């Protein structure tokens, strides 16, 4: 994983995301997904910008089927923004960096 981004799965999701003291952005992705690869550098840049304020995590939907189905994820990439264990926002597909920055600012 890139600096500042953790990998979460069905086993670690609750501890790393739902019980996190800081807001969390979870990037649901898969290795075969083109748009997932395209948005990855954007997410990595944002992880650096918001370091210490927001936790960034990636969840490979192929390896962790439970969590994506729990949150009704039908398409990837899907970015879900969590705060205090609850979903605050969700963005699906490739979007502009500015739109992601705006969503992250609202988490703070």
Q: Label residue 12 left, alpha or beta by phi (over 0 means left) and psi (-120 to 50 means alpha).
A: alpha
Choosing from 24, 36, 43, 54, which is the catalytic residue? Answer: 36
E strand segments, the chain:
5-7, 24-29, 55-60, 78-83, 86-92
Q: Pick from 8, 15, 50: which is nearest to 29 by CA?
A: 8
Choosing from 5, 17, 33, 80, which is the catalytic residue? Answer: 33
CB 68 within 8 A of CB 28: yes
Distance of CA 99 to the CA centre of its chain: 14
59 noted as active-site residue: no
- Which residues participate in catalysis according to the annotation? 33, 36
């Amino acid at each position: 994983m890139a600096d500042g981004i953790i990998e979460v799965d069905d086993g670690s999701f609750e501890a790393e995301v739902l019980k996190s003291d800081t807001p969390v952005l979870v990037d649901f992705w898969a290795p075969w997904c083109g748009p997932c690869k395209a948005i990855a550098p954007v997410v990595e840049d944002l992880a650096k910008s918001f370091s210490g304020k927001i936790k960034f995590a990636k969840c490979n939907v192929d390896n962790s089927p439970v969590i994506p189905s729990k949150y009704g994820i039908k398409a990837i990439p899907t970015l879900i923004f969590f705060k205090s264990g609850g979903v605050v926002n969700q963005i699906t597909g490739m979007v502009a960096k500015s739109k992601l920055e705006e969503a992250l600012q609202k988490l703070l």
